[in-house]
Amino acid sequence: MKNKANPKAGNGDLIGMDEAIAMLKTTRPTFYRWLKTGKLKGMKVGRQWRFYADDVRRFLKGESLRWDLPADIAPLIAALREKAGEKADSVTSLSDAERVALAASLVFKAGVALKASDIHLDSVGDKARLRYRINGVLQVVAEFDSRLLPALIARFKGIAGGAIDIKNLPQDYRIPYEEGGQRYDIRMAFLPALAGETMSARISQREIQVGGLDWLDLNPGARKLLDRAMAARSGMVVFSGPTGSGKTTALYAAIKQVATPANKVVSIEDPVEGALPGVVQVMVNASVPFPAALKATLRADANVIVVGQLSDGETVPLAVKAAMTGHLVLTAMHAASAARAIRRIVEMGAPAYDVSEGVRLVTSQRLVRRVCPECSVNDSPTADQLKLAAKAAAEGGLDFDAQPRKFRKAVGCPKCNMTGFKGRKVAFEALEVTPVIAKLVRDGAPEEEIQAQAVRQGMLTMAADAVRRACAGETTLTEAMVETGEL
């Protein structure tokens, strides 16, 4: 027999599920849905669910969840307000639920203000930490009592419409966000861990703020090769690099260059990172995977086809074939170098002959942090640093002795958040598939041989390009060597 609602239950009294359902006058499936999405807060006592009568009454009135925070969240709010550029204000009049909601909103606002690409929340011992990835480097912005983390995680799940009661499975969500007149997409990932759930979020502008190829500020040799490949009516141009190397930004700059009224540009992406004016953007999904979308695009009379990622053995041969049949194909892939990218395309299923004929240009890149123009000072690198730089330059096609000596040292000031760096520059290499390179590909030559030939025919490697930027005072020599793997 079901329990009847007890209207006299005190605020602090625990009631069973049947009694809560009776108070809400709803069905069990609807009640489970509210519980799963965090609209209702409950707790497991043994195998049974129990609820505070006050929480049920709050829900009936349309009020937010009650949080009994075990520690003061005010210091975290104060730290976030400072980073977000907001004035300090007392939160004593706010309920715990309102404080949690405020802290969560400030996490996003501070991330946008700091121009962070990612947000990370996790626990280390009895401390939780909030970190932002700024200019490619994670920085701790706040540390706080780890007992506050579950409430924050629950709030973020609630914002995303996630399952608050599920804490032992990964969850991924995507939400829109607006700040300062700009629209963003925030991709949130919740991951169960030994010390409790963690949350990471990627912040992406809805409208991509990127210029054409001029915006990339490439070295003259690479820019000349890229311009030549982009002017062709067919062939494949590949932008490669590891995650976080800026290859998607470079790809979008190339797309913007060719997205003219005279060209029909169709872009197949997973996910669509942002809106590109003048481009037909297609988001792949379980029903329409990359290969199916690519086959459909070939029938759409496109001049330029963009394949957001070369990632599987079915898409790769199709993309190379498209490049050989009158389409300019722009794409991106994960690879450590341009020479490695060519070998990977073959390894992923494209015939070596097709690759040698269809691929025009392969690039690879890394991002090096730009020294802050406000606080950086002149630097005198050590003999060992200069020796390493000279070696990377010689092996990468750069005349080290002909470079200026404008070395700079990072210091740190309020304008660069005390890091010594502000913004980033790209270290870029562009490998043109000449007849000699094409023969090496057909013959199955190792990537080292392909790269050596590319340097002989004029390619500047990423490491050499990074050294060039350090010599010009755009970054530090240590930053250049570390980011390109030479140190």
Whether the CB-CB separation of 238 and 359 falls below 8 Å is answered with: yes
Whether the CB-CB separation of 477 and 389 falls below 8 Å is answered with: yes
Give the pLDDT confidence of 261-283 residue by residue, as tens digits.
999 999 998 877 777 888 999 98
**Per-residue pLDDT at 486:** 76
> Average of pLDDT values for 145-157?
92
**Per-residue pLDDT at 67:** 64
Q: Angle CA(189)–CA(193)–CA(196) in degrees, nearest 5?
A: 95
Strands of 359-371's sheet in order across? 279-283, 265-269, 304-307, 328-333, 235-240, 359-371, 421-432
Of 305, 210, 231, 208, residue with least CA distance to 264: 305
Read off the pLDDT band of 245 (50, 70, 90). very high
At 320 the three-state DSSP class reads: helix
> Average of pLDDT values for 172-193?
91
Give the pLDDT confidence of 202-220 residue by residue, as tens digits.
998 877 667 788 989 999 9
| Top-confidence residue, 1 or 38 | 38
- Does residue 1 have a pLDDT over 50? no
E runs forming strands in 180-264: 182-191, 198-205, 235-240
- Which of 14-28, 73-87, 105-119 has the weakest average pLDDT? 14-28
**Per-residue pLDDT at 429:** 97
Q: Angle CA(109)–CA(115)–CA(117) in degrees, nearest 5?
A: 95
Report H helices in 304-461: 315-324, 338-347, 352-358, 383-395, 435-442, 447-456
- C-alpha 250/C-alpha 365 separation (Å) is 9
- C-alpha 25/C-alpha 23 separation (Å) is 6
Q: Which residues contact 443 (CB under 8 A, 6 or more apart)?
A: none
**Per-residue pLDDT at 70:** 87
- C-alpha 318/C-alpha 348 separation (Å) is 11
**Per-residue pLDDT at 167:** 85
**Per-residue pLDDT at 12:** 58
Mean pLDDT of the chain: 90
**Per-residue pLDDT at 2:** 44
Token output for 31: 């009640």
What secondary structure does DSSP assign to 264-280, as a single string? -EEEEESS--SB-TTEE
Whether the CB-CB separation of 392 and 464 falls below 8 Å is answered with: yes
Please report where in the chains the tokens 């490949």 appear, as a residue.
Answer: 229
Read off the pLDDT band of 349 (50, 70, 90). very high
| Top-confidence residue, 140 or 40 | 140
Q: Is the peptide bond before 271 cis (omega within 30 degrees of 0)?
A: yes
